[in-house]
Chain A
Amino acid sequence: MKPTLILVGADKGGVGKTTISRALLDFFARKNVLTRAFDTENPRGSLKRFYPAITEVIDLENVAHQMKVLDTMETANVPVTLVDLKAGGLSYALDIFERIGVLEAARNNQFTLGLFHIVGSSIASLDEIGEISKYLNGIEYVVTRNFINETNFFEWDQTTHRKYFANLPKAQEIDIPKLNEMAYEQIDLSGVTFKDFIENRAADGQPGKFSFVLRGYARKWCSEIDEEFARVKMVQDLLTGGRGTPAA
């Protein structure tokens, strides 16, 4: 099966890029799909804190680091490569990938390229969609509305929505529900993955002492996210080896 490169990004800061990256890595771990991740929040990436074993911090402006990501997709023996783009890094990444032929290679089906574009409720986020639309041909584009910060998508009325999505007929849209704040804080504080938190395992692999209630809310949140991720075609292909919709 072709390797899959997933970019997670947004030009706007504070919309939950790393949270979605963590949720995706967690989702694939629960589905037994091997992943590796690159954190572009150089020099100290927050994704690496939660997934130290599979995450490398890189500087996407550095050619050697670009090679680390792109030239090893076939040889890494890991079906999914995820890149958590730092705030403001989305347009830059797409632009550089266009210029060095990465997007072209994806369009030629050499690998699957997906983009989870994390958006907030403001028109600025919709403008972002307009700005990057020129790169999206051949990319599995997933508009990811993140409700984790209790965002209210009031500005996304139907007319505005139609206007911005008119040129993106293949765009997929998913919603990330809000996770209880205390659960989120406890997970962040302990530096564990969502999966380990739910299973009450500390970062060092020892049994954790996490709240049963907060673990329960995290489990419910993950199951809701699982349903959202499972609607994405690229994810379905990964789960089924490209044989279509996974069994319920």
Chain B
Amino acid sequence: MASRFAVHIVCSDQPRNGKSLLARVLSDFLLLDGRDPFLIDISHPEGTLRNYFPGRTVLVDFSNIRGQMKAFDTIMQAPGRDYVIDVSSPYLDRFCEAAKNLNLSDAFREVDLAMAVFFVVDAAPDSLKAAAWAEKMLKADIFVPVRNTAVGSALPARFDGMTLNMPRLDPELHAIIENRRFSLRTFLQGDEADVPVRLRPRLKDFLQSVMTELRAVAPALSLVRLRSGAA
């Protein structure tokens, strides 16, 4: 049987390229799927995810050992749920180093937690190198390079492997969904009042497009785990 729970890590080497938005969509996707994700926001001191997911988010200062304990001990002490970790770009190196030093992928496997990484590959060619480095360091069950159309991507158009494509989101919609009280999940559930009628189809298209691609990750994850004999 495939693993029931997974740790989803959203990261990039560059700032402001849609990581936190993807982490939000991913978390709402899991919630809509009836799962119970807990969010670990490694973007101290900003911590925007707490606004959207109060009560299920912890803000972590990863620059010190206590922060690392707050992040990873939380997961290891309660592996029976899903996790979403949003790693802001200044902490990527430190996060990957810690994951390697702590044999994080093996530790997760020991408690039957799968590990999926979503790396937003930015437009700069170095971002592709950073993605390759992060893949090597994190040793996740599945590593998904992400193209965000809004910022461009150094990821080749023909990439052999699973990718995730984020379509461009209307700037007007950006401003609306950034409101701390706006929930993507409740919007999809029919609470559309905060979005002008003319923009609603665009937001729905965006969310459904990303969520459709996210839907493909779980079976791929199960397959990888079955092949490795870990499931």
Contacts and interface: CB of A to CB of B under 8 A. Distances in A.
A216 B102 contact: yes
Contacts of B107: 212, 216
Interface in B49-83: 65-66, 68-69, 72-73, 76-77
Contacts of B72: 212-213, 216
Contacts of B73: 211-213
Contacts of A213: 65, 68-69, 72-73, 98, 102
B212 interface: no
Contacts of A211: 69, 73
B179 interface: no
Contacts of B98: 213
Contacts of B101: 216-217, 220
Given A217-B101, A220-B101, A212 B65 contact: no
B105 to A, nearest CB: 12
Nearest to A215: B102
Contacts of A217: 65, 101-102
Contacts of B65: 180, 182, 213-214, 217
B186 interface: no
Nearest to A214: B69
Nearest to B75: A212
A216 B102 CA distance: 5
Interface in A211-236: 211-214, 216-217, 219-220
Interface in A180-238: 180, 182, 211-214, 216-217, 219-220
Contacts of A180: 65
Contacts of A212: 69, 72-73, 76-77, 102, 107
Nearest to A216: B102
Contacts of B103: 216, 219
A198 to B, nearest CB: 11
B62 to A, nearest CB: 11
Nearest to B69: A213
Contacts of A219: 103
B113 to A, nearest CB: 12
B87 to A, nearest CB: 16
A91 B101 CA distance: 39
Interface-centre pick from A213, A217, A219 (highest chain B CB count, 10 A): A213
Interface string A58-102: 000000000000000000000000000000000000000000000
A119 B107 CA distance: 36
A179 to B, nearest CB: 12
A180 to B, nearest CB: 6
B40 to A, nearest CB: 13
B197 to A, nearest CB: 49
Nearest to B70: A213
B112 to A, nearest CB: 15
Interface in B101-120: 101-103, 107
Nearest to A183: B65
A145 B9 CA distance: 39
Interface of B: 65-66, 68-69, 72-73, 76-77, 98, 101-103, 107
13 contacts: A182-B66, A212-B69, A212-B77, A213-B65, A213-B72, A214-B65, A214-B69, A216-B102, A217-B65, A217-B101, A217-B102, A220-B101, A220-B102
Interface of A: 180, 182, 211-214, 216-217, 219-220
Given A211-B73, A212-B107, A216-B72, 15 more contacts: A180-B65, A182-B65, A212-B69, A212-B72, A212-B77, A212-B102, A213-B65, A213-B68, A213-B72, A213-B73, A213-B102, A214-B65, A216-B102, A216-B103, A217-B65
By Cβ-Cβ distance, the 7 closest A-B pairs, closest first, are: A216-B102, A212-B76, A213-B69, A213-B68, A220-B101, A213-B72, A211-B73
